[in-house]
Structure 1
Amino acid sequence: MQYLLLLSAIAVEVVGTLTLRVAANGRAALYAVVAVCYVVAFVALAGALRHGMPLGVAYGVWAAAGVAITAAASRFLFDEPLTRRMVAGIGFVMVGVLLMEIGAAH
């Protein structure tokens, strides 16, 4: 259950962040969608914590996955840059989160 809640938090946060990009470009009514997405994301993240997921792992996975998915999606949706160096940085963050996950298991 904790991983389902964490995946939900990630998905809703990414939708909120991508919507923020659209809202910032002149569609101000979408700020309400952004706010709802962020509230739902935090509630889902809190649910993952309530179900026993360690905070460092939950936040690390949430942040890293959010950055990676948002960067990839914004490349395709908004034609924003996603350079090799940026992809390498995302990879390093993901390795760090994996190490935190492994460390939390001991």
Structure 2
Amino acid sequence: MGYLLLALAIAAEVSATVSLKLSEGFSKLGPSIIVVAGYAIAFLALAQVLKSGVPIGVAYAIWAAAGVALVAIIGVLFFRESMNATMVAGLALVIGGVVLLQVGGAH
């Protein structure tokens, strides 16, 4: 159940972050509401993840890395933001770090 809630926390955080861009400095009401609601849901879900027994280091690493990677991909696909090989390598290192935390925590 903890990892299902973690997926919810990630989806809510990514939605909130994308909406932050769409809110244009909180000047657009709809996206601004999604920002506030999304971050609230993300933190509430993350709190439940930690309550379920998922280690804080692993939960936060997965939450942060998935959020960074997904927001970067959305930025490229929907906002025409640039992505180069160095940035891809950086994302791969972040994801690799999360995998190593997960593997290390299993021992």
Does the alignment reach a TM-score above 0.5?
Answer: yes
- Per the alignment, residue 48 of structure 1 pairs with 49
- Per the alignment, residue 18 of structure 1 pairs with 18
Q: Secondary structure at the match of 2:66?
A: helix
Structure 2 residue ranges without an equivalent (≥5):
none
Deviations 1:12-50 (A, max 9, x none): 100110011111267431222101100100011111111
CA distance in 1, matches of 2:35, 2:26: 14
2:71 alignment partner AA:
T
- Per the alignment, residue 32 of structure 1 pairs with 33
- For the structure 1 residues 14 and 72, does the alpha-carbon distance in structure 2 shift closer, same or farther, using more than 3 Å as the test? same
Deviations 1:46-75 (A, max 9, x none): 111111000000000000000000000111
Identity over aligned pairs, percent? 44
Q: Secondary structure at the match of 2:44?
A: helix
Please give the TM-score of this superposition, normalised by the length of structure 1. 0.94
- Per the alignment, residue 80 of structure 1 pairs with 81
Structure 1 residue ranges (4+ consecutive) displaced by more than 4 angstroms after TM superposition:
none
